[in-house]
Amino acid sequence: MTSTQGTLEELRALTEAGVSLTSEISLEKVLQKVVDIGRDLVGARYAALSVLGPSGEITRFITSGISAEERLAIGDIPSGRGLLGVLLHKGDSLSLETISDDPRSAGFPPNHPPMTSLLGVPLIFRTHIIGNLYLTEKTGERAFSDHDQELVRLLATQAAVAIRNAELHDKAESVARLEERERIGMDLHDGVMQSIYAVGLTLEDCVERVDDDPAGVRGSLEGAMNSLNDVIGDIRSYIFDLRPRVSVVADLPEAVRHLVDDLRINTLIQTSLEIDGELPDAITQDQALALFHITQEAINNVAKHSQARSASVRLEASDRLVSIEVHDDGIGFDTEGEQAHERHGLRNMRDRARSVGAELHLTGRTNEGTTVRAELSIGDSPEVP
């Protein structure tokens, strides 16, 4: 191979490494990829990556070329004494022909495979050393070359960015999870808990009255049983709301069709469904899911509150706009002043619409039915609350 070919090969390998690292968002996988790629890139028998905590301590140690059994036999992650500590504190590269000849070497722990040549490079993000990449046992050579060192340095630059990205992604995920937990807690507290509390009060009252008014108590108990059944129904639909059908995102029209079918089967309301146009490719999963949830809540409200004789659902889609409208001819309500009696349903609809950049219109008046319309312009960036 000519040297130009060699350089091209390496450039290709580095570019592939960059693409592969940045397309991965799981931190575990990014770390493992970094060591595996580093080992391949310079032909080392073993590779390891130390990730550093805020005070420079090693928090993770990922290896490549060592079997799981060998890793187990070696034991704990290194403490950073000896050569690993040198790289760790100085943030310098290190290339050695024979590890044990270096006066700073602290020797290997028992069961450690023999290692002679070493190349160590720090992973630097902005000005911080976030870890170190070690390559050992250059195959077919006594030591790693300056060229190897340069290649690994380039890889380390890409790796540091990929690691930071994956860490940020992990953090964002756990924040989202916490927020979700808070939301569920709040919903359960405000909804289900209040209903159960009310049933508890009725039962307490029954205990007081049972001797004097057994017939009245019977009526109250029946009422309590009905309320509990309602609560069970609420919890069931809440769980359903938390776990949308998997097909929703892939096929919004089909999912809406299911909702309308459920309304027809479970109520006496005459229903109609109209679907116009094809869903644009550009609609995101989050947008489709939000439209689904809005439709679901609007349909639930029709079933729960409207006392309508008929209801119609219309899904219109084009490359520029997707809209869903749920209309009923029931008792309606004061949508202008609805803020006052707005509960989770309407509030969630608004939140979901806003989070994906859709507009929500509620129209209707008392005794004149209700229309809920969600409009999503495709290609617009969502308005962040």
Ligand X SMILES: Nc1ncnc2c1ncn2[C@@H]1O[C@H](COP(=O)(O)OP(=O)(O)OP(=O)(O)O)[C@@H](O)[C@H]1O
Binding site for ligand X (CB under 6 A): 301-302, 304-306, 328, 330-333, 338, 341-346, 370
| Region near Mg ion per CB under 5 A, out of 53-61, 205-213, 282-290, 301-309 | 301-309
**Structure tokens belonging to residue 223:** 């009422």
**Could you give the CA distance from residue 29 to residue 18 in angstroms, rounded to a whole number?**
14
CB of 36 to ligand X, least distance (A): 50
| Region near Mg ion per CB under 5 A, out of 142-150, 202-210, 298-306, 312-320 | 298-306
295 binds Mg ion (CB under 5 A): no
- How many C-alpha atoms does 227 have within 13 Å on its Cβ side? 19
CB of 31 to ligand X, least distance (A): 44
**Structure tokens belonging to residue 27:** 């931190």
Rank residues 244 and 345 by Cβ distance to Mg ion and give the closer one.
345
**Interaction partner, residue 331 (Mg ion, ligand X, none; CB < 5-8 Å by kind):** ligand X
CA distance readout (Å), 367 to 337, 339, 361: 15, 18, 18
Residues 295, 301, 323, 370: which binds Mg ion (CB under 5 A)?
A: 301
Pairing of strands 310-317, 270-276: parallel
**Could you give the CA distance from residue 307 to residue 115 in angstroms, rounded to a whole number?**
79
**Interaction partner, residue 330 (ligand X, Mg ion, none; CB < 5-8 Å by kind):** ligand X
Which of 36, 60, 58 shows the shortest CA–CA distance to 47? Answer: 36
CB of 377 to ligand X, least distance (A): 25
Which of 359, 238, 193, 355 shows the shortest CA–CA distance to 290? Answer: 355
Rank residues 35 and 302 by Cβ distance to ligand X and give the closer one.
302
Rank residues 23 and 307 by Cβ distance to ligand X and give the closer one.
307
CB of 160 to ligand X, least distance (A): 47
Residues in CB range of 155: below 8 A, 6 or more apart: 14, 17, 34, 37, 38, 41, 133
Residues 85, 91, 345, 382: which binds Mg ion (CB under 5 A)?
A: 345
**Interaction partner, residue 306 (Mg ion, ligand X, none; CB < 5-8 Å by kind):** ligand X
CB of 348 to ligand X, least distance (A): 8
Residue nearest to Mg ion as judged by C-beta position: 345
Residues in CB range of 189: below 8 A, 6 or more apart: none
Binding footprint of Mg ion, residue count (CB under 5 A): 2
Instruction: Yes or no: say if 117 and 3 are a contact pair by the CB < 8 Å rule.
Output: no
191 binds Mg ion (CB under 5 A): no
